[in-house]
Amino acid sequence: MSNYNNSNQLAVPEAKNAMEQFKMQAASEVGVPLKQGYNGDLTSRQAGSIGGQMVKKMIESYESSLK
């Protein structure tokens, strides 16, 4: 399939380090033991809670910018 789209890539590659820090911060906030590198030992619930926290923070940031 030549039309495969890897949605796991950043739109702005220069933001990779900042996004990694953001992910680590979100993991810390929800109490998930995230480490640098491979984290395949996390449960789906743990991984989802990190993503959910990141989305929550992004929405809060956007809403604050609307004021």
Write down the pLDDT at residue 4: 57
Q: Which residue numbers in the chain have pLDDT < 50?
A: 1
Write down the pLDDT at residue 9: 84
Write down the pLDDT at residue 37: 87
User: Is the dihedral angle over the CA atoms 36, 28, 33, 23 positive or is it negative?
Assistant: negative
Q: Yes or no: say if 22 and 54 are a contact pair by the CB < 8 Å rule.
A: yes
Write down the pLDDT at residue 67: 77
For the entire predicted model, the pTM comes to 0.80
Write down the pLDDT at residue 1: 47
Element (H, E) at 28: helix 16-30
